[in-house]
Every structure is written in structure tokens, then in C-alpha cells.
């Protein structure tokens, strides 16, 4: 009686006893995964670089709200780097060493925390703009927003570095075989992280935006009822209010899309059922998490004329001309 031996593929064939095995996956599925993730990585990098260049280059776009969008675009660009590492894991092997594995996981947590923190700042910005418009220009300044963004990133780095000190000191301690990238956080720390990095901020975001839309609806009704009686000065005020409300609606779409894309990821982390997911379900959750990073620029292109104008100037290389930063974008 003959036995048919299936050849097992190893990540490191020379390390027979310590190398992890490559998972058996259909060739078509592997190729499709490479194509999809590569496309997402390139799309994330290209679209968010357009946002970063636009806001950084044109002086008219140096506003508090746009600085928050710049911070979000920077975090999204880093997500593109994470997708690159995710591509390398499609084959089931990690070839970058234990230290890079830990840094990859830490960077993932830092970017997520910074993105959620930036969303809270965006919600607070719209709350002040809509609910206290008379004091918005004095309360929300470029310098104050810059300080808040820096604190958001610094706190994200320090918080996640502190939470993962043990893994940073002993990279690879949870890897059973060469070619693995295993990162473990104890259950209590994981629950605390989900509460501090997701449940708490999301609660703040929802409360602020509910208040924003209640006030926005009442203001819209007031403007419609008094539009015929406004003076020239009053019409300018109405125009300003409409502009702020349009920005609130646009950023509201950004926030809702952000929550939709991240909720499955954090729900899995909260329930601790990640090991119960099928490969396709896990792939969907991760892809949705990453895909959010290329949706924000598409939303800007759909709702913001200034972004479409700046794209034209960037693509046609007109930003290389002298004094192009003073161009009329708005």
C-alpha cells in the first residue's frame, strides 16, 4: 500500500525544524490578493499625497479645518506603508525579522490611535464652528490646532509605546517558528485599549455631531425664514453659515465612513473572536480597515471644489511655477 506524500512548503527551507509552513491557498486567490492590496496601497499613497501637497502648498488652504485634514492624510499615507507589509504576509511568511514585526504592529496601533484622535478634533472643530460661530475665529486658530495635532500624535506614540513596552524589549518572544509575525497583548490591556482608542472617542464624536446636526437644522430653518429680509451684511453672514454647514456635512460623511470601516475591526478586537473568523472574513475586515484611507480624498474630490482645482494644478505641474502657492483656489 503506497502513501502519497504531500510536499510541505516552508518559509525558510534551510531551517527544516524551526521554519513555519506556508498555508495551502489556491494560486488564483493569492494572485488576486496581491493585485487588490497592491492597488489599494498605490491608491492610498497617490490620493493622500495629493491632499498633503494641496494643503501644504497653497496658502489659501492653511486653515484650522484643513490642517486637521492634513493630519488625517498623513496618517492615511502611513496606512499605505502598512498595506505594503500586509502584502508580504499574503504568502503566510514574514521575511523582515522580529524587530520589524514589532515595529509594524506598533505603527499600526499608533496610526489607528492618531486617526481616531484626529476625528475627535474634526468633530470638535465642527462643533465650535456651528454651535458657537461668533467665537470660532478666536477659539480655533491655526496655532492652537497645530498644537492639538502635535499632542494627538505625541500621545498616540507614547501611549502605544508604553502599552507595548514588553514586546519592544523582547521582539519575537511569541513566535513559535521562523517566518512568523505574532503580536500578543493581554486581554485586560486589549479591552482597555479598545475603550480608550475606540469606544470613548467614538462616543465623543457621536455626541458632538448629533449636537452639530441639531443646531445645523435649526440654523437652516432660520435662514430660510429670514432670507428675504437680510441686508447685504446679513447675506454675507448667511453665506458664511452655509459654508460652515456644508463643511460640517462633508466632514460628517468622512466621520461616518471612518466609523463604518473601523467598527468591524474594533468589534472583533473587543469580542476577542479573531481566531473564530474564517480567512475570507478576516481578509474583508482588514481590507475594509485599510480601504478607508483612500476614501477620504475621494470624498474631498466629490464635495470640495478647492481640492479638484488643486489636483489640476498639481497634475499639470503648475505648482512648480513661481508664486503658485498664492494661487486662488477657493
Judged against a pLDDT cut of 70, whether residue 127 lies above it is answered with: yes
Q: How many CB atoms lie within 10 A of CB 157?
A: 16
CATH architecture observed for domain 27-224+231-326: Up-down Bundle (1.20)
Across 25-48, average pLDDT: 82
Q: How far apart are CA 121 and CA 71, in angstroms?
A: 10
What are the extents of the domains in the chain? 27-224+231-326
Query: Which pLDDT belongs to residue 330?
Result: 76
Q: Sign of dihedral through CA atoms 148, 152, 154, 159? A: positive
The predicted-structure confidence for 173-182, as pLDDT tens digits, reads as follows: 766 666 677 7
> Which pLDDT band, with edges at 50, 70 and 90, does 150 fall under?
very high
Q: What's the Cα-to-Cα distance from 26 to each of 20, 90, 91, 252, rounded to whole Å?
A: 19, 12, 11, 41
The predicted-structure confidence for 252-273, as pLDDT tens digits, reads as follows: 777 788 778 777 777 766 665 5
Q: How far apart are CA 242 and CA 69, in angstroms?
A: 20
Query: Which pLDDT belongs to residue 322?
Result: 82
C-alpha cell at 299: 470624498
Across 169-174, average pLDDT: 72
Judged against a pLDDT cut of 90, whether residue 79 lies above it is answered with: no
Q: How far apart are CA 117 and CA 197, in angstroms?
A: 8
Across 292-318, average pLDDT: 85
Please name every residue paired with 10 in a beta bridge, in sequence order, or none if there are none. Answer: 21
**For all residues of the chain together, what is the average pLDDT?**
77
Judged against a pLDDT cut of 80, whether residue 56 lies above it is answered with: yes
Across 315-322, average pLDDT: 86
Query: Which pLDDT belongs to residue 274?
Result: 52
Query: Which pLDDT belongs to residue 148?
Result: 94
The predicted-structure confidence for 212-237, as pLDDT tens digits, reads as follows: 878 777 766 666 665 555 544 545 55
Amino acid at each position: 500500500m503506497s502513501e502519497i506524500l504531500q510536499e510541505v512548503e516552508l518559509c525558510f527551507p534551510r531551517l527544516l525544524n524551526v521554519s513555519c509552513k506556508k498555508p495551502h491557498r489556491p494560486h488564483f486567490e493569492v494572485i488576486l490578493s496581491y493585485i487588490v492590496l497592491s492597488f489599494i496601497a498605490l491608491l492610498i499613497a497617490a490620493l493622500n499625497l495629493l491632499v498633503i501637497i494641496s494643503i501644504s502648498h497653497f496658502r489659501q488652504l492653511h486653515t484650522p479645518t484643513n490642517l486637521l485634514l492634513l493630519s488625517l492624510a498623513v496618517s492615511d499615507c502611513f496606512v499605505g506603508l502598512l498595506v505594503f507589509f500586509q502584502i508580504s504576509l499574503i504568502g503566510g511568511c514574514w521575511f523582515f525579522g522580529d524587530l520589524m514585526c514589532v515595529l509594524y504592529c506598533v505603527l499600526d496601533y499608533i496610526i489607528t490611535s492618531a486617526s481616531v484622535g484626529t476625528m475627535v478634533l474634526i468633530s470638535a472643530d465642527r462643533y465650535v464652528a456651528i454651535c458657537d460661530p461668533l467665537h470660532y475665529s478666536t477659539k480655533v486658530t491655526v496655532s492652537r490646532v497645530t498644537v492639538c495635532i502635535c499632542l494627538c500624535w505625541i500621545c498616540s506614540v507614547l501611549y502605544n509605546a508604553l502599552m507595548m513596552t514588553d514586546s519592544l524589549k523582547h521582539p519575537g518572544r511569541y513566535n513559535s517558528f521562523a517566518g512568523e509575525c505574532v503580536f500578543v497583548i493581554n486581554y485586560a490591556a486589549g479591552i482597555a485599549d479598545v475603550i480608550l482608542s475606540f469606544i470613548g472617542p467614538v462616543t465623543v464624536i457621536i455626541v458632538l455631531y448629533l449636537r452639530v446636526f441639531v443646531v445645523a437644522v435649526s440654523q437652516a430653518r432660520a435662514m430660510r425664514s429670514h432670507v428675504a429680509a437680510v441686508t447685504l451684511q446679513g447675506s454675507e453672514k448667511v453665506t458664511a453659515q452655509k459654508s460652515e454647514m456644508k463643511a460640517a456635512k462633508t466632514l460628517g460623511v468622512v466621520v461616518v465612513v471612518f466609523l463604518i470601516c473601523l467598527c468591524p475591526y474594533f468589534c472583533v478586537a473587543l469580542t476577542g473572536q479573531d481566531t473564530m473568523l474564517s480567512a475570507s472574513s478576516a481578509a474583508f475586515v482588514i481590507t475594509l480597515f485599510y480601504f478607508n484611507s483612500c476614501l477620504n480624498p475621494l470624498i474631498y474630490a466629490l464635495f470640495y471644489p478647492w481640492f479638484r482645482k488643486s489636483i489640476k494644478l498639481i497634475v499639470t505641474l503648475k505648482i512648480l511655477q513661481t508664486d503658485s502657492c498664492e494661487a486662488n483656489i477657493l
